Amino acid sequence: MFGFFCRKLGLNHRSITSLDSKTQLGVLPFNALFLITCFSSNLPLKSNDDSFTISYLINSCGLSPEAANSVSKKLHLKSPQKPDSFLSFLRDHGFSDPQISKVVRFNPHLLSCNVKKTVLPKLEFLHSIGVSNDDLPKMICSNPGFLVRSLEKYLIPCYNILKSSLLSDGIAKNFSFNLLVLRGLGMPQSTISLLVTKWPKVLCQNVDNFSRNKTITKKMDFLVNKMGWQPAVIARYPAVFTYSLENRIVPRCYVIKVLLLKGLIKETISLLSILSPSDESFLEEFVIKHKELEPELLNVLEGKIEFAD
């Protein structure tokens, strides 16, 4: 590195030797001064603020060192007063440590905000439209950007547009009744909230048709308790509620479970990639492709083999 700077400044071995001798006499040539200035100005030094920010993000917010270092490029904390207030506020409203870490990772500038002016009004708004204390952290974590949106200019107008559009389309009655059906069937409020925001049409269909669909909770029970998917993940793909439990969801999921147990597919496989393909595509991708290692997969798919849960 030193040789590189010397070549850039036109310093050869002779001039360096001269530099050493003059430096010993207390005389620093201009070229050497320029060299030292350039070299020192490019050192990646961490300020005290950066060090404090990284330490706080790791120790108080639960971020990994890599995530803390990345966030610190956008955030500079000078004292723990405001961030401590923000974290305490979230904990008082039922947020767990992993949920707090997620909120901070997505919206680090909230650590410097005025909690009563920036965050509290939005939580009060959610409460006013029926979000319970238990579901509040889940809703925020499913969409962390909510806390940085303007309440007056974005959140309330969007809510009013949605409400007015439901009324103007004459489906408010269906919507309200279908919500009652889901609650009566025992579906968690957090899942209902995600359905409303991700795929509201599923709640706006004809009341009679919706009421007859008593398999909703059975589908949720199977996917959550038998397959291990979280309700929030299932709610991202509301089309799952339109598929037959007996003819599509159960047989395909049992095939997937066999493949997972044998280590033939990754655990990160998505629900959408399992249920949305046509019968021919699913057969090709998950049965025929693995038939040499698992020749009984077709029998599992066709329900000829009873799967032990």
Q: What domains lie within the chain, and their CATH numbers?
A: 2-41 (no CATH), 48-149 (1.25.70.10), 169-242 (no CATH), 243-309 (no CATH)
**pLDDT for 41 beyond 80:** no
pLDDT(191) > 80: no
Question: Taking the mean position of all CA atoms in its chain, how far away is CA 281?
Answer: 30
Q: Does pLDDT of 122 surpass 80?
A: yes
Coil, strand or helix at 3:
helix
Q: Which residue has the higher pLDDT, 263 or 26?
A: 263
Q: What is the mean pLDDT of residues 135-155?
A: 85
How many helices (H) and strands (E) the chain has is answered by: 20, 0
Please provide the average confidence, as pLDDT, over all residues in the chain.
76
Residue 195: both structure tokens together: 């359905």
Q: pLDDT at position 44, please?
A: 44
Write down the pLDDT at residue 281.
92
Instruction: Report residue 51 as tokens.
Output: 């060090």
Tens-digit pLDDT profile for residues 133-144:
888 898 888 777
Distance CA 264, CA 57 (A): 38
pTM for the whole structure: 0.44
Q: How confident is the model at residue 185 (pLDDT cuts 50, 70, 90)?
A: low
pLDDT at 2: 32
For position 48, what pLDDT does the model report?
59
Yes or no: say if 231 and 240 are a contact pair by the CB < 8 Å rule: no
Mean pLDDT along residues 263-271: 88
The proportion of the chain whose per-residue pLDDT surpasses 90, expressed as a percent, equals 31
Enumerate residues 6+ apart whose C-beta is below 8 A from 304: none
Distance, C-alpha 287 to centroid of its chain? 32
What confidence tier does 267 reach under pLDDT thresholds 50, 70, 90?
A: confident
* pLDDT attached to residue 201: 67
